[in-house]
Structure 1
Amino acid sequence: MIPLRLKIETDAIEPYVVRLRSFEGISDESHHTGALDAALESASAETAEFSGATGNLRLFGVDPSEVNGDVLFVVPSRGTAHRLIRANSRHNTLLVTERCDQLCLMCSQPPKKQHIDMFPFFETALLLSQKNSTIGISGGEPTLFKSELFDFFNRAMSRRPDIDFHVLTNAQHFDRADLPILRRLDLTRILWGVPVYSSDSDVHDRIVAKPGAYDQVRRSLSLLCEAGAKIELRTVLMKPNAPGLLDLAKFVTTALPFVDSWAIMQLENIGYARQNWDTLFFDSSTGFDIVGKALDFAISRGIDTKLYNFPLCTVPTDYRAFAPSTISDWKRAYVADCADCSLRNECGGFFEWHPKVHGYERFGVA
């Protein structure tokens, strides 16, 4: 598992954002730093010393070559640094808030009451990020701070026209007053990931533990469509909604044909999902017929549909092309049975915290 939080020491007092420059393997001509860079001064087996305009920074237990170009949020009072943006990763996500107005049965990050405004730090981090990046925006629920989010997009997108965004939102807080604001954004650069768990409003509302959520998400999807937004539907596959997956596919193709893509996702064993695993986990290795029919129907109607977080050996051969590697690199793992699998390089494997008894009846080398 790739660590996202590092132990540090620094002579600074206030939190700050910095980009690390180790320059290992880089010619002397490329050795230039900016005001928010910290260059490697020395390294040992235990520590790496960086120095820059922001002060001195000591990292523990890190190979300097593995953090070159990474953008950190340093919190001196806690002796920690968070890797906001990893230079060599395609999976960088900024956590806007831990607050949320839903209590989804399978929530991977249960909500908290406290909130810290990180937008100023995020804006600085984006200025230091790699060119042509796609940055995730997540929570909690980011649109609980909708005004701040829109302002952030306006500033960040004007200063970094090469960066795109992927926003995960429950779509409970959009209204018609947002239309002119949305239209002022370059919506070709933002993909809105919106969960729809069932075509049955009762099933959807029970999963998210919020009466009326289904009706609101439908209104929000219509509004996003009217604004010209790009939309990715996201459906976590579970026992409560698996029987209705084909009905959902029919609903998506008839009522929501404007969406750009639909992701059918396997369950992540963390947060509330870990507590409710036995009642939620749907074994798609033995019940793939449900998934296959929904996938076939959606694709036949022109909806770009993919399977996220499905180990390839649990997917029938004819459907593996629809199951890309989607688990973020920092939380991806493989079990012992994966060692000799010919598909390992193409497979997303498992979440690091997937249960040792994996739950898939049909599983093994593909």
Structure 2
Amino acid sequence: MESYSESYRKAGVDITAGYQGVKLMAPHVERTMIPGVVSGIGGFGGLFAPDLSGMREPVLVSGTDGVGTKIRIAQLLDRHDTVGVDCVAMCVNDIICCGAKPLFFLDYIAIGKNVPEKVAALVSGVAEGCVQAGCALIGGETAEHPGVMDAEDYDLAGFSVGIVDRGDIIDPSRVRPGDVVLALPSSGLHSNGFSLVRKVFHVEHADLRAHCEDLGESLGDALLTPTRIYVKPVLAAIGAAEVHGISHITGGGFYENLPRCLPEGLTVRIEKASLRTPPIFKLLQETGRIPERDMFNTFNMGVGMAVIVSRETADKALSALADHGCPGYVMGEIVPGEERVVLC
């Protein structure tokens, strides 16, 4: 007998819409299938058998995050196929910081009213993020929340699990004075600071679709640009050079995130003139009259990831990054000092 509940539908939850959503998302999930996937979608748990050959002491590494209030931009534009990339990126870009390769991802969608096409669009973005990260989407959950969320509202979160050999874990103890700090360019704001962004640009009343000369595109397109995923280029750099530290520049900007990959007694000295900052940051700062310190303490300022390498292998790292579509550049160095981050 087909599963259906008229009483549940009258309460605001249409379980048949959920089944239709699974059918629509299936082709997107299929794109992410990699060796190791044991189960398809629809089971009670996602099964994955990792290849441990060549690993002496494998360590699992996990990361979880959501998209944050950037989702409001997607809702205002009625465009839902990009924020899934952000969701994956915020998780896999974290676990790569210790050198772990992402294996699989699971998502969670809470939505006011389950519209199968909207849910499928959200999952298509998640699948695209998984493809970019080289991991599998092995499960997820969509929960309809009538009476708790408005019909048009939703939230998206997820988590990823990766693996690294214990001897290859990248931790702050590796960083030395004289090391070079490489900047990996961001695609824009990524998925951080959007409560401030939405306030500055008055997004609830702004024409997000109008072309903006300062940006070369509409404000909406600039704000909705997906977070860059750094997994493949960073893994290539790790294989080619002596990588001593990696920092994902998210909410908290330079001042919060760079110290997370530093031992005590060392300072990251950044040359501000070297930074290649996209125009959205200048527009944001000028429109909101935001002090420079706050910009660097909230946003990535064009640097989505910082990779600390030995000076002798910096060129090898840059070459590996470029070969994988991520043209990094030198933005600073590690020096002795008690002040954790210095911008000069």
**TM-score of the superposition, structure 2-length normalised?**
0.23
Higher relative contact order (CA 8 A, sep 6+): 2
